């Protein structure tokens, strides 16, 4: 296994956000149908048919079981994670068909590092039609003993969640997404500050003007709002607040 980073890591509230393991998502088999009956499994291929694209750890996870004949791995998060549907729990997920599978039981793969490659390896009576990754996700701390055959004779977890209910899709290109409701982490707003005001004026309007910043009331109101100064009316108190921030280089750009 090549350890190549997708450079995709993400945390909120001290927990990892469960990210989509794929760079591109082209669903070749939906959940609930065919060999996925009664499950939330998806078959995913990449942009080009037949290409064995790598896929990456959606969170820091450990291999807890594997079946190399099927290129299959059972992975579990090291801690509770944030799922796209808002649930917080352990993640246990199964991947299959990786012809290059070489992870060892107990091996820990950090979030964003390569987990495996799409492939078409299938054994034990399973079928694989073309290069893809079969993935099914549980939002619980399961073991291989929970992996069972459902009433349709399909192997699965007791309770599964779809990819769209589990993964944040930031940095993933949806090529064939079957109109599922994909979820994204909010983009982090970039905060930038005006340069430090080093002049002597006690007026925010003059200070801004000297720095070639629009000092109109309308713009000052916007700056005030961006800096948590509510209901800006241009009162001396509000202006001093803004000026103090500007002098410290802590006035957020509006």
| CB of residue 132 to Zn ion, shortest distance in Å | 7
| CB of residue 161 to Zn ion, shortest distance in Å | 16
- Measured from the Cβ of residue 199, the count of other Cβ atoms closer than 10 Å reads 12
Token look-up 């599978």 returns 101
Token look-up 């009162």 returns 235
CB closer to Zn ion out of 37 and 87 = 37
CB closer to Zn ion out of 156 and 242 = 156
CB closer to Zn ion out of 43 and 165 = 43
Task: Print the binding letters for residues 42-61 with Zn ion: x by CB under 5 A, - otherwise.
Answer: -x------------------
Q: Restricting to residues 172-231, name those near Zn ion by CB under 5 A.
A: none
**Of 35, 55, 149, 135, residue with least CA distance to 93:** 135
Say if CB 96 and CB 71 are below 8 A apart. Answer: yes
CA 60 to chain centroid, in Å, comes to 12
**Which of 6, 45, 52, 134 is the binder for Zn ion (CB under 5 A)?**
134
CB closer to Zn ion out of 70 and 239 = 70
Using the rule CB under 5 A, is 160 a contact of Zn ion? no
Q: Are strands 11-12 and 54-56 parallel, antiparallel or unpaired?
A: unpaired
| CB of residue 42 to Zn ion, shortest distance in Å | 7
Give the phi and the psi of residue 26 in degrees, each rounded to 5: -130, 105
For 130-175, give the DSSP string. SSBEEEEEESS---GGG-EE-TTS-EE-SS-B-HHHH-B-TT-EEE
What dihedral angle (degrees, nearest 10) is formed by the CA atoms of 233, 239, 241, 245? 120
- Cα atoms in the 13 Å half-sphere on the side-chain side of 225: 8
| CB of residue 36 to Zn ion, shortest distance in Å | 6
Q: Which stretch binds Zn ion (CB under 5 A): 131-139, 144-152, 196-204, 213-221?
A: 131-139
CB closer to Zn ion out of 16 and 136 = 136
CB closer to Zn ion out of 45 and 134 = 134
CB closer to Zn ion out of 128 and 241 = 128
List the structure tokens of 43: 């078959």
Task: Print the binding letters for residues 84-123 with Zn ion: x by CB under 5 A, - otherwise.
Answer: ----------------------------------------
Contacts with Zn ion by CB under 5 A lie at 43, 134
């Amino acid at each position: 296994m090549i350890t190549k980073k997708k450079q995709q890591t993400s945390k909120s509230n001290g927990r990892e956000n469960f990210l989509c393991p794929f760079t591109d998502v082209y669903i070749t088999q939906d959940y609930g149908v065919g060999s996925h009956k009664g499950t939330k499994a998806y078959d995913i291929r990449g942009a080009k048919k037949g290409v064995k694209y790598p896929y990456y750890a959606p969170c820091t996870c450990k291999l807890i079981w594997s079946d190399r004949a099927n290129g299959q791995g059972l992975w579990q998060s090291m801690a509770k994670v944030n799922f796209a549907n808002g649930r917080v729990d352990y993640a246990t997920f199964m991947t299959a068909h990786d012809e290059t599978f070489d992870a060892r039981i107990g091996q820990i793969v950090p979030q964003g590092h390569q987990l495996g490659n799409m492939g078409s390896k299938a054994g034990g009576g399973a079928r694989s039609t073309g290069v893809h990754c079969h993935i099914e996700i549980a939002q619980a701390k399961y073991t291989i003993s929970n992996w069972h055959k459902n009433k349709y004779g399909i192997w699965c977890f007791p309770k599964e969640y779809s990819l769209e209910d589990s993964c944040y899709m930031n940095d993933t290109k949806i090529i064939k997404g079957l109109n599922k409701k994909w979820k994204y982490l909010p983009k982090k707003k970039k905060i930038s500050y005006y340069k430090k005001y080093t002049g002597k004026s006690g007026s925010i309007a003059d200070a801004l003007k000297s720095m070639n910043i629009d000092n109109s009331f309308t713009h000052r109101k916007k700056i005030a709002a961006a800096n948590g100064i509510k209901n800006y009316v241009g009162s001396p108190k509000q202006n001093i607040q803004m000026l103090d921030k500007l002098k410290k280089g802590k006035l957020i750009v509006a």
